[in-house]
Structure 1
Amino acid sequence: MESAALSIEFQMSLLLFLALAGYLLASRINQSATIGAILVGLLVGPSMLGLITYTDFVRSLAHLGAIILLFVIGFEFNVRDILKASYGVIGILGVIIPWIGGYATAVLFGFDFASAVFVGTALTATSIAITANVLKEIGMLQTGAAKAIIGTAVIDDILSLVALSITTDLVAGDVSAVSIGLVLAKALGFIVIGGAVGLFGVSRFIERMDRSKLARKYPEFVFIFAMMIAFLYAMLADLMGLSGIVGAFIAGVAFEGVGLRNSKDVREGAEYLQIIFASIFFVSLGILADFQALTPDIIIFLVALTLVAIATKVIGCGLPARAMGMCREDSLIIGFGMAPRGEVAMIVALIGLDSGLIGQGVFVAIVLMSLLTTIVTPIVYRNWFFRGAYCAVE
């Protein structure tokens, strides 16, 4: 019986059952399915019932879910949507201001230099998986604000990578302009070259493949090839030091205009995969958190850190958006949309913990801050911005 409970089949069935429970809960409280899945993960995870833990199997499935989700989201955008200069301005301020806020908060609570630097770095990140999924659910993914969020978040991921590199070198005492420049060059090189190869090479090859006898005989052949490319891009992004989800997103953007006649639709097939694996990803975020590790001091620090995390993104991204001509509603939508830290900040915290640069208390605070900021955005979107009229500025 114990071996059956540990089997892959049982674990997969259990995770999908939890995803379904998340949908039921979301319908009861009139919130996003994303919120429902995360809350169910909290309920069954170490924080409350302790029925399931964040195993390597759960981690692997969650990682696949994030990659597939961003691949699907990429189909909603074209290259012009993520290469605007205004997004660069929003992204830069959206990294600098949260870093200062996180560092200052940690120092105020008496943490040492290394911990404070890592806290600041954790606050620079933005997890677009959460915001993009919620915008997709409510049919707002093609708005000007949504495009700004996605474009800025990609830039944020690059800048967060640079911030992490600076942080580790700074704590070790060997930071240099050369190391910073190398990280930035690799990240930009991957996005530019990977996007160009996908847009002008792979996508056209897929269209030629669709006209072949092989595609007419096996309509699923092209879909399998496209998914292979998506995971290949994710792997290459990891090798470049970027998050794998950025690579998957770039692949999706490159395939946006692909027209198929004989093959199964790549976007439709990927969306079916997303339904399964992205649901597990959101459940896993709840499982990852453990409220039992909190102490009274850490709880106070967590509350302050979460408020600072939200405020610095709203200010750091919302104000520049407003200054560049966006309406007040769009500016706030962008600010709150950039607030979720999600798995990105959790990864930063894990690096700090594994290297001995932060303690368990700081680690738990960053993980729970990531979770709380992840929950806030869907609630704010559904109950504030998108209940009534929407101010659309393209």
Structure 2
Amino acid sequence: MEDLFISPEFQMSLLLFVALGGYLIASRINQSAVIGLILVGILVGPSVLGWITYTDFIQSLAHLGAVILLFVIGFEFNLREIIHPRNFAIALVGVIVPWFCGWELAILFGYSSASAIFIGTALTATSIAITANVLRELDKLHTAAAKAIIGAAVIDDVLALIVLAISTAVVNGSFSYWGIALITIKALLFIVIGAAFGTLVIGRYLVRLDRTDFVKRFPEFIFIFAMMFAFFYAICAEMVGLSTIIGAFIAGVSFKDVELNQSKSLKEGAEYLQIIFASIFFVSLGVLVDLRAVTPEILVFLVALTIVAIISKVIGCGLPARLGGMNRKDSLIIGFGMAPRGEVAMIVALIGLNAGIIDQGVYVVLVIMSLLTTVITPIIYRNWFYRGEYGTYDASGACINSGD
């Protein structure tokens, strides 16, 4: 009987059952599905009931969910929207300000220079998956603010990678300008060449392949090919040091203008996968956090760091957006949209813990800070910026009508 409870089938069934509970909670409190899924993850995780722990199996499923989610989001964008000069300014200032504020706060609370450097580094990250999914729920992905957020977040991932490399090298005493330059070049080349190759070569190949008798007989073939390509780009991104979700996003961008006649819809098929695996991803963020680890000694630092994490991104990203011509509301939407740290900061924290740069207390603070910033943005979006502007969705998650 014990083997039954640890089987993949039982765990998958339990996770999806919990996800359904997350949707019910979100409906009851009139919040985004992301909030409900994270809250139910906290409820069933080690913080409260202890039904689910963050096992390797759950980690793998959650990772797949983030990859598929960003693949779907990529269908809404093109490369020109990502590399807009304004997005570079938003991302650059949005990395510098949080890093400096995080470092200063850590020093103020008496942490060592090495720990302070890594705390600042964790604050530079932005979790594109959280904000993108909320904007998708609200049918706002095509707004100027949403395009700026997604574009800046992709660039932010490259900059955060560079900051992480610099911070690690400085702490270990192995800093090299050439090493940092190499990381930057590899990341930028992957984004530009990857998007161009996917759009001009793979995308056009799929259109030609769609006209063949083979695909007429097996219309699901191209969808399988596209998903293979998404996961291949995800692993390529990881190989150059970027987040896997950036690779999946670039794959989705590559297929934005692919029009198929005989084959199954790439976007629609991916959306059904996203419904399952992205739900598990958001539940896992709640499971990952153990609120029992919060002691009175670190509670004050946790509160201060969370406030600084939000304000530094709102100012660091919102101010360049305002100076770049965005109105005040859109600038604030961008600032709060870049605030979620999510799984990205958690990964940075884990790297620091494993390297012995930060201790268990700092690790717990960074993980919970990541969760809090992740939860706050959807609440602010739905209850402040987009109050009453909720869309109606079909079974695949596509918006049928907006409440504008």
TM-score range, shorter chain: over 0.9
What are structure 1's unaligned runs of at least 5 residues? Answer: none
How many Å separate the matches in 1 of 2:112 and 2:135?
Answer: 39
* Partner residue in 1 for 2:396: none
How many Å separate the matches in 2 of 1:343 and 1:33?
Answer: 17
Alpha-carbon deviation of 1:317? Answer: 0.4
How many Å separate the matches in 1 of 2:278 and 2:167?
Answer: 31
Residues 233 and 248 in structure 2, CA contact (< 8 A), matched pair in contact too:
yes
How many Å separate the matches in 1 of 2:104 and 2:213?
Answer: 63
* Partner residue in 1 for 2:289: 289
Q: Which amino acid aligns with 1:94?
A: G
Residues 135 and 141 in structure 2, CA contact (< 8 A), matched pair in contact too:
yes
Mapping 1:7-18, distance limit 5 Å:
7-18=7-18
* Partner residue in 1 for 2:399: none
* Partner residue in 2 for 1:38: 38
* Partner residue in 1 for 2:120: 120
* Paired-residue identity, %: 66
* Partner residue in 2 for 1:53: 53
**Deviation digits for residues 188-232 of structure 1, max 9, x if unmatched?**
010011011001000001111111111100010000000000000
How many Å separate the matches in 1 of 2:202 and 2:196?
Answer: 9
* Partner residue in 1 for 2:203: 203
Q: Which amino acid aligns with 1:57?
A: F
CA 104–122 in structure 1, closer or farther in 2 if over 3 Å, else same: same
Residues 138 and 389 in structure 2, CA contact (< 8 A), matched pair in contact too:
no
* Partner residue in 2 for 1:349: 349
Question: The residue matched to 2:256 in structure 1 has which SS?
Answer: coil
* Partner residue in 1 for 2:233: 233
Alpha-carbon deviation of 1:389? Answer: 8.1
**Deviation digits for residues 274-315 of structure 1, max 9, x if unmatched?**
000000000000000011111112111110000000000000
Question: The residue matched to 2:349 in structure 1 has which SS?
Answer: helix
Alpha-carbon deviation of 1:388? Answer: 5.8
How many Å separate the matches in 1 of 2:198 and 2:63?
Answer: 22
* Partner residue in 2 for 1:216: 216
How many Å separate the matches in 1 of 2:177 and 2:198?
Answer: 31
* Partner residue in 1 for 2:111: 111
Alpha-carbon deviation of 1:176? Answer: 1.6
Mapping 1:171-186, distance limit 5 Å:
171-186=171-186
* Partner residue in 2 for 1:314: 314
Q: Which amino acid aligns with 2:56?
A: D
How many Å separate the matches in 1 of 2:165 and 2:45?
Answer: 32
How many Å separate the matches in 2 of 1:278 and 1:105?
Answer: 34
Mapping 1:73-92, distance limit 5 Å:
73-92=73-92
* Partner residue in 2 for 1:254: 254
CA 328–176 in structure 1, closer or farther in 2 if over 3 Å, else same: same
* Partner residue in 1 for 2:69: 69
How many Å separate the matches in 1 of 2:108 and 2:82?
Answer: 37
* Partner residue in 2 for 1:100: 100
Instruction: List structure 1 runs of 4+ shifted beyond 3 angstroms.
Output: none
How many Å separate the matches in 2 of 1:281 and 1:272?
Answer: 15
Normalized against structure 2, the TM-score is what? 0.96
How many Å separate the matches in 1 of 2:302 and 2:44?
Answer: 22
* Partner residue in 1 for 2:327: 327
Question: The residue matched to 2:219 in structure 1 has which SS?
Answer: coil
Q: Which amino acid aligns with 1:331?
A: S
* Partner residue in 1 for 2:365: 365
More displaced, 239-248 or 171-180?
171-180
How many Å separate the matches in 2 of 1:389 and 1:4?
Answer: 44
Question: The residue matched to 1:258 in structure 2 has which SS?
Answer: coil
Residues 382 and 388 in structure 2, CA contact (< 8 A), matched pair in contact too:
no
* Partner residue in 2 for 1:154: 154
